[in-house]
Structure 1
Amino acid sequence: MQRNWFLGDLLDQLFERPGKKRGKDDKRSISELCEALLSAEGEVSGFALASTILDRYQTLDDPEKLDFFAYLNDQLELDADLLSETARHYAEYRSVDLYKKLSEAAEPKRQELLRRLNQPSGATQELVATRVDLLRFLKSNPELKRTDVDFVHLLRSWFNRGFLVLKQISWDTPARVLDKIVAHEAVHQIHDLDDLRRRLFPPDRRCFAFFHPSMPDEPLIFVEVALTTEIPNAIDVLLSEVREPIEPEQATIAAFYSISNCQRGLTGISFGNLLIKQVVTELSRELPGLDTFVTLSPIPGVNRWLAGETGHPEHGHAAEAVLAGTAPPQDVRAMAARYLLLAKREDGMPLDPVARFHLGNGAELHELHAGADPSQNGRSQSGGAMVNYLYDLKKTERNHEEFVAHATIETSRSVRAASTAVLAARPEENPA
């Protein structure tokens, strides 16, 4: 039977029993409060207890927070023996009652605790922030991964597509939201208000973000879009202070040039593919003349890969030249193409995280550009190279299926040719 949290909490607030401990006056430890929330007391006064626990957590120092996560991890673990025994009984009898018991036994108590903690207003945002601490502790306490699995399980449920709200970010968006766009821009830094205005105010620029009803002023992820007549080959073309804007109706291309996640506590919960698909739908509805959807994306891992390739008998000299900033543009493109097509993880997927994201969404590796990002970050990541991923809406589903099933990378002839292009001669081979 579904618990009536609202009625219980309302009655609890209206008819406070004398002597009942509340809030800051409750001297119980945070683990004792959690046990109370999971008990019959939590059925009656769950809202108050959840608020007290969340407030108490904010006062903890790092060692105390680590103790709290250890409590969740060890004391609220599932009972493996009970689960095994119940599973054996269910396999034999298959009764509805046993199925319910099996479902309960298969869920760690910490999942129910997190659900009950999510009752007060603002609790979802506090739990997202709590996971930021957990992720920090995981580096030296990998056993806490079990607790993180449960956080992710519930956050995926709470932040599923049905709850997300797409909003356009414009120059008229409240400053409290714009400040967060500036703070979380992770691809091309927003330097000042003029820079922000160039991305939001012109008629041929768009920015969209996903929000959650429980966090209305906190963007979860946002994408910046340029409406153009040509596929961009450099970021300065899009962010120039002196460019002439075009009317949106003139545009035939929508170029996604920056996608940034805003909530570290939601790491591992993917919104980007949904965001791109919905933005494509929105832009297509607004501007039917758009016929090409493409990115201008960084290649964040190429220089790290090149650092390990300097001894390669065939292209080691080119790797050294790209890292030194002395390689000709054709070699920068060639090495970037080799990285994107040949550098793989153990599971056969591309090493580059941005490539995995777009190719996993069904995009095509379309074109490479040397000198496309002259910023310090661009040079340190990829020697200034950038890449276009093309979203051909007629092929994205097939491309996605092939990539997921076989790690097949849909690639244009241009990029394929670059990956096998003859490199510049080694310095010692040049004539005197």
Structure 2
Amino acid sequence: MNATTTWISRRVSKLLPAALAKDEAAAGAPVKSEAAATPLRGPGSAPAPSPRGKPPQRSTRERLEATLRQGEEALSPRMLRRALDELRGIIDPRVSEVEGGRRAAALAVWYEGATPARRRDLWLLMSEMFVADADKAREAQARFAAAVGTPDEAVAEVHYRRATVSPRRRLLQRFSVYPGGVQFLVDLRAELQPHLKADRRLQALDVEMEYMFSTWFDVGFLDLRRISWDSPASLIEKLIQYEAVHDIKSWSDVKNRLDSDRRCYGFFHPRLPEVPLIFIEVALLDDMASDIVPLLDESAAAADLQKATTAIFYSISNTQVGLRGVSFGDSLIKRVVDTLKEEFPKLKTFATLSPIPGLRPWLQRHLAAQLERLDERALRELGRAVSFEPPSTEHVLGALDKPLALDAKSPLRQFLLRCAAQYLGAEWQDGKPLDPVARFHLGNGARVERLNWAGDPSPKGLKQSYGLMVNYLYDLKRLDKHRAQLAQGRIPMAAEIEGLLKP
């Protein structure tokens, strides 16, 4: 056993459950096993709230300076200080990158066996105790401000940038050194996400990780690979696991999605070669699809590729929650379009068949306002359709509960289509389209093309959007125009959608 291995074994063993119990017993705290210290709630679960009457929560710095553990704190002060020493040892300037990576790998082993509450203590240490030196940052900023416009400006800017880089960034970089370290960090951030709103102290760590991931996972470092039925079974299993739009129910289901008239592509990172970061499923057809059922029909014959003129993107799934905020969907669609055009020169139309996940809850909250937009005639027709005049929100919602039974001329059906057009074409939040799927595709330069009644009659489709689906059209010659239009506060849409918005 060499010196490095001995150091790792000795140091990390002090953080293992037996050592924790020994320290807690020495401090007079009740001894608990690792499993009993915190109830098992799974990754990302919030720790149980403190009962009434408990002392107020201490800050991380107060805990580091204390002697005894208090209340619901997971790690005793002594163990918290020891964990901080382990983290600092990873970025010790006297050790090499490789040695720092080994130390990070050892700490990751401890982390994998730790309870959620003890993991959270480690997050707090990483977030709060590895900040840039405030005095040095202020001094460098003052020097930079004084040097603006002088020959020393560039040098002063370099010093300022270096002064504001936190040791936390170097710490995260050391975790990326060892095999599996990148996946470890991505999983850590995924587990961190549910805690951010409740504990703002963790936001510095989250933002630092998002910044680093945006660099590490830049599209220039990603490989576009086709996933087919001939791909390794382990990779196909990833599709089943991560499919987020239309659940894959069986192997025959996934085989249908990888048939000869289909294509599936994913972005892969060299450090995560077996996991697609995002994947897209495509159907090659002779017309724009309006119904998801035929696309998912396992018994349907494959389409004739010689007649294919349209590529329908019917499912796009991100696989890594820890990469939230890192955008590569835009580049994926562009790369897929270029790849498809090269393989199938006859393709002219590129569009989606997309869900409208927020429509039903939005309408339930804003139905009264939508009824007020109707003129007297439309209001009377709607009232007769629901057998209550003037129609109340309660009666309209009740009548909409079975949308598939409405015929094409039903005033209730026309009303729902108008509401969907309003939701997709005129509703905003923080300067962006309200619907998350619309936000994605419109941000990539697409336009709202067509609403499809009963496009998804599944229970999930009815729950999300009364069964409605929408086509977003990627007009390759107008993508930049549509983006500019969106930036000006106008959602690009086809004339059919605009017509539904008119009073």
Same fold (TM over 0.5): yes
**Whole-Å separation in 2 of the counterparts to 1:104 and 1:56:** 32
CA RMSD of aligned residues (A): 2.1
SS at match of 1:288: coil
Task: Confirm whether residue 410 of structure 1 aligns to residue 464 of structure 2.
Answer: no
Task: Give, as a single letter, the amino acid of the residue that structure 2 aligns with 1:408.
Answer: R
Partner of 1:30: 83
- Aligned pair in 2 of structure 1 residues 23, 247: CA closer, same or farther (>3 Å)? farther
Task: Give, as a single letter, the amino acid of the residue that structure 2 aligns with 1:338.
Answer: Q
- Aligned pair in 2 of structure 1 residues 414, 34: CA closer, same or farther (>3 Å)? same
1:338 to partner: Cα distance: 1.2
**Whole-Å separation in 2 of the counterparts to 1:66 and 1:18:** 28
- Aligned pair in 2 of structure 1 residues 330, 23: CA closer, same or farther (>3 Å)? farther
Partner of 1:152: 210
Task: Confirm whether residue 209 of structure 1 aligns to residue 209 of structure 2.
Answer: no
Match of 1:143 among 180, 201, 223: 201
Task: Give, as a single letter, the amino acid of the residue that structure 2 aligns with 1:57.
Answer: Y
**Whole-Å separation in 1 of the counterparts to 2:4 and 2:131:** 35
- Aligned pair in 2 of structure 1 residues 322, 255: CA closer, same or farther (>3 Å)? farther
Match of 2:449 among 347, 350, 366: 366
TM-score if structure 1 supplies the norm length?
Answer: 0.88
1:417 to partner: Cα distance: 1.1
Task: Confirm whether residue 169 of structure 1 aligns to residue 217 of structure 2.
Answer: no
> Does the CA-based 8 Å contact 1:30-1:56 persist in structure 2?
no
SS at match of 1:324: coil
Task: Give, as a single letter, the amino acid of the residue that structure 2 aligns with 1:108.
Answer: S
1:56 to partner: Cα distance: 2.0
Partner of 1:292: 349
Identity %: 36
**Whole-Å separation in 1 of the counterparts to 2:142 and 2:4:** 48
The 5-angstrom pairing of residues 203-352 of structure 1 reads 203-312=260-369, 313-314=372-373, 317=393, 320=397, 323-326=400-403, 328=410, 329-345=413-429, 347-352=430-435
> Does the CA-based 8 Å contact 2:310-2:347 persist in structure 1?
yes
SS at match of 2:95: helix
| Structure 2 unmatched ranges of 5 or more | 16-81, 375-391
SS at match of 2:125: helix
The 5-angstrom pairing of residues 381-420 of structure 1 reads 381-403=464-486, 405-420=487-502
Partner of 1:59: 113
The 5-angstrom pairing of residues 118-133 of structure 1 reads 118-133=176-191
SS at match of 1:260: strand
SS at match of 2:88: helix
> Does the CA-based 8 Å contact 1:210-1:220 persist in structure 2?
yes
**Whole-Å separation in 2 of the counterparts to 1:20 and 1:237:** 61
Partner of 2:379: none
Higher-Rg structure is: 2
Task: Give, as a single letter, the amino acid of the residue that structure 1 aligns with 2:444.
Answer: N
Partner of 1:47: 101
1:370 to partner: Cα distance: 1.2
**Whole-Å separation in 2 of the counterparts to 1:40 and 1:184:** 40
CA displacement 1:148-194 (0-9 Å, x = unmatched):
11000001111001111111111111111111101111111111111
1:263 to partner: Cα distance: 0.7
TM-score if structure 2 supplies the norm length?
Answer: 0.76
**Whole-Å separation in 1 of the counterparts to 2:179 and 2:4:** 26
**Whole-Å separation in 2 of the counterparts to 1:19 and 1:289:** 60
1:308 to partner: Cα distance: 0.9
SS at match of 2:177: coil
> Does the CA-based 8 Å contact 1:306-1:320 persist in structure 2?
no
1:300 to partner: Cα distance: 0.6
**Whole-Å separation in 1 of the counterparts to 2:368 and 2:416:** 17
> Does the CA-based 8 Å contact 2:425-2:448 persist in structure 1?
no
1:211 to partner: Cα distance: 0.8
Report the more deviating stretch, 364-373 or 50-59.
50-59
- Aligned pair in 2 of structure 1 residues 153, 178: CA closer, same or farther (>3 Å)? same
**Whole-Å separation in 2 of the counterparts to 1:321 and 1:399:** 38
1:321 to partner: Cα distance: 5.4
Task: Give, as a single letter, the amino acid of the residue that structure 1 aligns with 2:304.
Answer: E
**Whole-Å separation in 2 of the counterparts to 1:83 and 1:397:** 40
Task: Confirm whether residue 377 of structure 1 aligns to residue 460 of structure 2.
Answer: yes
Report the more deviating stretch, 374-383 or 57-66.
57-66
Report the more deviating stretch, 117-126 or 39-48.
39-48
Task: Give, as a single letter, the amino acid of the residue that structure 2 aligns with 1:324.
Answer: D
SS at match of 1:388: strand
The 5-angstrom pairing of residues 419-430 of structure 1 reads 419-420=501-502
Task: Confirm whether residue 354 of structure 1 aligns to residue 437 of structure 2.
Answer: yes
- Aligned pair in 2 of structure 1 residues 322, 394: CA closer, same or farther (>3 Å)? farther
**Whole-Å separation in 2 of the counterparts to 1:50 and 1:123:** 8
CA displacement 1:343-393 (0-9 Å, x = unmatched):
221x33211011011011000110001111011110000000000000000
**Whole-Å separation in 2 of the counterparts to 1:18 and 1:385:** 61
Q: What stretches of structure 1 move > 6 A for 4+ residues in a row?
A: none
Task: Give, as a single letter, the amino acid of the residue that structure 2 aligns with 1:388.
Answer: N
Task: Give, as a single letter, the amino acid of the residue that structure 1 aligns with 2:93.
Answer: A
SS at match of 2:204: helix
**Whole-Å separation in 1 of the counterparts to 2:222 and 2:145:** 39
- Aligned pair in 2 of structure 1 residues 407, 231: CA closer, same or farther (>3 Å)? same
- Aligned pair in 2 of structure 1 residues 25, 340: CA closer, same or farther (>3 Å)? same
> Does the CA-based 8 Å contact 2:267-2:277 persist in structure 1?
yes
Task: Give, as a single letter, the amino acid of the residue that structure 1 aligns with 2:499.
Answer: A
Report the more deviating stretch, 74-83 or 153-162.
74-83
